[in-house]
Structure 1
Amino acid sequence: MRQPQTKKNIDTPSDERQERDDLVPSRYAVRVGEIDVLVISDGVLEPPAESMATNADPATRNAWLDRSFLAHDTFDWALNAVVVRSGNQTILIDSGIGGEVPDFTRAGLFGHRLAAAGVDLASVTDVVLTHMHFDHVGGLLVEGVKEQMRPDLRVHVSAAEAKFWEAPDFSRTGMPPDLAEIARHASKRFLEVYRAELRTFEQNQQVAPGVVVTRTGGHTPGHSVVRIASGNDRLMFGGDAIFPVSFDHPEWHNGFEHDPEEATRVRLRLMQELATTGSWLVSTHMPFPSVGRVAAEGQLFRWVPAWWDY
């Protein structure tokens, strides 16, 4: 039986993982005008399938899973983060799970894959957090990572998000108690480790030329999206606002949402914006490389994956 990995070596792949990395793409580059965007996979999470639709009738949820050729018990969730280069800034948007949940053995690869993509942690000038769940901050909590970052690093997160995690409320989520405790612990540790680097904002903040982070709320009180614009090109990193099931069932509540009704309103608003503007979308838990567009389809929306550019 494979032994759980420690926080010290969680980001160092085993021989089996290394071999798989040689066969399965883990990064995908997109050019947004004059801005470079690199989507990097941190691997795959395997939460209970019911967590993607806590308010759905089980038979209806299982029918959706059947149509997608997915199992009924666990649901493969891609875990994507992004590196943006704009001007002389290198911006990391989220950081993956790190070693926060050793049971998720198919994730926690972000540091290794950053290095494989030629991204040196010391080159990162800014970090943007869409929110502070453990699968977004964990990569920055891996042992030795903080020491590799620049002393003048800026970590951008909404003020509402930082405040929420000082005393988080999980009463409206569907998170199992053990994951809620992991989330509480990871956010507390992150605030302690990176407090001096935090740059909080109320609603909007320009992080770099053409890179703006905006608070949406919903998934968490301070959840944010990042809009990237250069010339006529647009791309949105949607964080945890939009999931694979959102296009068929935007009304389904995700078990990790702290305000499910508001999360649904945010989801619909963002999908309408994306369908109207034709902007590219990259989202944390859409299948890698998670680059596509959103099209209106009657009262719902349709995901249109990008044709891969080899």
Structure 2
Amino acid sequence: MSETTRNLQPVTANLGKEGSGELVPSRYAVRVGDVDVVVISDGVLPLPTSTMSTNVSEADRNEWFDGRFLQRDMFDWALNIALVRSGERLILIDSGVGDGFEYFTRAGRSVMRLEAAGIDLAAITDIVVTHMHMDHVGGLNVDGVKGKLRPDVRIHVAAAEVEFWKNPDFSRTVMPETVPPALRQAAAKFVKLYSENIVQFDQTVEVAAGVSARVTGGHTPGHCVVDVASNGEKLTFVGDAIFEVNFDNPEWQNGFEHDPEVAANVRIALLNEAAETGALLAAAHVAFPSVGHIAKNGEGFRFVPVTWDY
């Protein structure tokens, strides 16, 4: 890969008006029955490819990345959030990485892109946090964001997740050394800022008609996914349960997983579920817009992206 390709930056241009207009697509909408879902890109996180496959050989990992014309050392990890409208309720799923991380300069765009889409943060009635890693709560930690949200916004977080971050265990993770302290700091700041808004739940919670969160564990003890179901149609936002490499290799473990074996079992169960039901799937770290179907492919799976509806 050439140095020019390696250093490509997001494309922006002045489109006949003051300020910069982004030329890259950053949101994609899909209707699930009577419920509207919009996936929004927060940007990309450059991370070592080794974190994508901690339990396999370097040769196997290189073969997968080579086959996709990607670098062998660093990987642009997509970061997506979602917005769901069900009746009178407007639900935000995760919030992106926010700011303050000098090594994540190409992410942290969620709030800007919500506002660019005409979304008033004060209109959000509920927020579901799939888990409390910094790239999921960081957007809520940005200065000024809390003041734009309604004072009674409900933030749904699994009780197991809140408990875990009181004294998090990183003994089974394989992360860059700068990451665990940043994760601790982001989680602590989130709880401090929003303690009065956090609504804890055990296994499942109905957030709105047709929108529910269910705990899967694995990635973190209280990691949850969000199911959107209406009129016989379904989409599941799986958070960090599934990564780009896992369609071909569902057993490959990720360095950010706090319980890798459980995470792999959760991943395979979710992939089987989607393949058997035909439901749509979207994820935090699958290339934007990350919406598609799952088909079984031998011992692995195949991701079938939706055809863009123009």
TM-score range, shorter chain: over 0.9
Letter paired with 2:197: E
Alpha-carbon distance between aligned partners in 2 of 1:46 and 1:179, rounded to the nearest angstrom: 13
Alpha-carbon distance between aligned partners in 1 of 2:11 and 2:221, rounded to the nearest angstrom: 39
Aligned residue runs from structure 1 range 183-262, under 5 A? 183-262=183-262
Aligned residue runs from structure 1 range 39-188, under 5 A? 39-188=39-188
Alpha-carbon distance between aligned partners in 2 of 1:100 and 1:126, rounded to the nearest angstrom: 25
TM-score by length of 1: 0.93
C-alpha deviation, 1:15, in angstroms: 11
- Identify if the C-alpha distance between structure 1 residues 78 and 278 changes in structure 2 by more than 3 Å, giving closer, same or farther: same
C-alpha deviation, 1:102, in angstroms: 2.3
User: Does the Cα contact within 8 Å between 2:13 and 2:23 map onto a contact in 1?
Assistant: no
Letter paired with 2:81: A
Alpha-carbon distance between aligned partners in 1 of 2:43 and 2:10, rounded to the nearest angstrom: 16
User: Does the Cα contact within 8 Å between 1:100 and 1:186 map onto a contact in 2?
Assistant: no
Q: Which runs of 4+ in 1 moved over 6 A?
A: none
Alpha-carbon distance between aligned partners in 1 of 2:307 and 2:10, rounded to the nearest angstrom: 31
- Residue 4 of structure 2 corresponds to which residue in structure 1? none
Gaps of 5+ in 2: 1-8, 15-19
Q: Deviations over 1:30-84 (max 9, x none)?
A: 1011101011000011011111111110011001100011001111111000000
- Residue 264 of structure 1 corresponds to which residue in structure 2? 264
Letter paired with 1:232: G
- Residue 273 of structure 1 corresponds to which residue in structure 2? 273
TM-score by length of 2: 0.93
Letter paired with 1:147: G
What is the RMSD computed on CA atoms of the aligned residues? 1.4
Alpha-carbon distance between aligned partners in 2 of 1:252 and 1:223, rounded to the nearest angstrom: 18
SS in 2 for 1:276: helix
Alpha-carbon distance between aligned partners in 2 of 1:47 and 1:250, rounded to the nearest angstrom: 19
Alpha-carbon distance between aligned partners in 2 of 1:121 and 1:16, rounded to the nearest angstrom: 26
- Identify if the C-alpha distance between structure 1 residues 240 and 100 changes in structure 2 by more than 3 Å, giving closer, same or farther: farther
Count of aligned pairs: 297
C-alpha deviation, 1:196, in angstroms: 0.5
Q: Which moved more, 1:291-300 or 1:195-204?
A: 291-300
User: Does the Cα contact within 8 Å between 1:100 and 1:134 map onto a contact in 2?
Assistant: no
SS in 1 for 2:103: coil
- Identify if the C-alpha distance between structure 1 residues 107 and 35 changes in structure 2 by more than 3 Å, giving closer, same or farther: same
Q: Deviations over 1:103-138 (max 9, x none)?
A: 111101111100111111000000000000000000
Alpha-carbon distance between aligned partners in 2 of 1:303 and 1:133, rounded to the nearest angstrom: 25
Alpha-carbon distance between aligned partners in 2 of 1:178 and 1:227, rounded to the nearest angstrom: 33
User: Does the Cα contact within 8 Å between 1:161 and 1:223 map onto a contact in 2?
Assistant: yes
C-alpha deviation, 1:251, in angstroms: 1.1
SS in 2 for 1:76: strand
User: Does the Cα contact within 8 Å between 2:81 and 2:95 map onto a contact in 1?
Assistant: yes
Gaps of 5+ in 1: 1-13
- Residue 8 of structure 1 corresponds to which residue in structure 2? none
User: Does the Cα contact within 8 Å between 1:207 and 1:213 map onto a contact in 2?
Assistant: yes
Alpha-carbon distance between aligned partners in 1 of 2:22 and 2:208, rounded to the nearest angstrom: 33
Alpha-carbon distance between aligned partners in 1 of 2:12 and 2:226, rounded to the nearest angstrom: 31
SS in 2 for 1:47: strand
- Identify if the C-alpha distance between structure 1 residues 111 and 250 changes in structure 2 by more than 3 Å, giving closer, same or farther: same
Matched, 1:285 2:285: yes
Letter paired with 1:68: R
